[in-house]
Amino acid sequence: MSDDAFSACLIRWQQKHGRHDLPWQQTRDAYRIWLAEIMLQQTQVSTVIPYYSRFLERFPTIEALARSALEPVLELWAGLGYYARARNLHRCAQVIVTDCAGQFPKEAQAIAELPGIGRSTAAAISVFAFGQRAAILDGNVKRVLARCFGIEGFPGSATTQKEMWRLADALLPARNIGAYTQGLMDLGSTLCSRRKPFCNACPMHEICIARREGRQAELPVAKPRKVLPERETGLLILTDGNRVLLERRPPAGIWGGLLTLPEGGVAEARELTRRYGCRLLAMQALLPFRHTFSHFHLHIQPLLCRVEVKTRLVAEAGWQWLEYEAIETAALPAPIRFLLRTMAQRVGQEAQE
């Protein structure tokens, strides 16, 4: 099958069988398309849709997002993970408003120079917002190309990625670039899935090398596995029964800009109670658990510290008491939210006893 035949087949399939009713497909607004593309990175469509709607209710324009402080942005992002996306989204909005008069550039190359926007995301924005002819290469597209054209090598390696970009550029059609680009996304996410692909329904059924050779499970080549280092930390849950003491992480790094529990053990717990005018009533070690980041495993030992607040507190910068009822809407990392949600349920049960 020639490059032109591949793109024509994909366009016909997308127009008849592809997705057409996603919220961000009903607009040419670059801001809304950009927001969707960022949220969809490493996140399923079904998860993104409610976040996308809530975010636009709070920030209907890029100017509204740029004017906002970072904390409300992180609060709306809480639960989506990969929080650097939210920080870059906020920074990018400020750059576009300040340096670009609130308007996205139209060319993919120019869009890719903005904070937090890579080559593939820039191409998707330029295609869907401005009808530009540009190639995308996200995880779904890499899987489609690797299987259809039998591309060996891990897609994340420089050599394989260069080969895939060359192919992605060569396959671009002269017309219907929007349907073609959406078709690649749809094919990778609905039929050419990582596990149990629906090969018989695929428009590339006859030309797919992986299907013909029975190598769907082998292509694309998996990332070489490496042993992740193990780390340990203690987390302090200082609570008066209604609130819990939290600190805001620095903007960069793990959980950057989010509220989280302070780290430490018994000595640090006693110091915090003194600093905030509390009387320490009891301490109890809770069951430890493990959270895995992309580059290490973190073993967490929570320490529950029940306190009585003796003085009216003026919170230091970066520290605050959070009401249990605000746990679901606060900008908390997923494992911290889960831990505090469990604590809130425990406190509620104790109150009823």
What distance in Å separates the CA atoms of residue 51 and residue 72, rounded to the nearest whole number? 13
Helix 45-58 with 70-77: angle, nearest 10 deg = 150
pLDDT at site 99 = 97
pLDDT at site 54 = 97
> Which is catalytic among the residues 37, 63, 113, 350?
37
Count CB-CB contacts under 10 A for residue 109: 13
Helix 30-39 with 84-99: angle, nearest 10 deg = 160
* Tokens 């009823």 sit on residue: 352
State pTM to two decimals: 0.90
Domains of the chain: 3-213 (1.10.340.30), 230-352 (3.90.79.10)
pLDDT at site 35 = 98
* Cβ neighbours of residue 99 closer than 8 Å, sequence gap 6 or more: none
pLDDT at site 343 = 83
Q: What phi, psi does 154 have (nearest 5°)?
A: -70, 125
Quick one: DSSP state of residue 101?
T
* Tokens 């920074």 sit on residue: 91
Mean pLDDT by 10 residues, the chain (353 residues): 85 97 96 98 95 98 97 92 93 98 97 97 98 97 98 96 98 97 97 96 96 97 92 96 93 89 96 90 95 93 93 72 92 92 76 60
Q: Is 37 a catalytic residue?
A: yes
**Tokens standing for 314?**
């003026």
What distance in Å separates the CA atoms of residue 309 and residue 292, rounded to the nearest whole number? 35
**Tokens standing for 334?**
């997923």
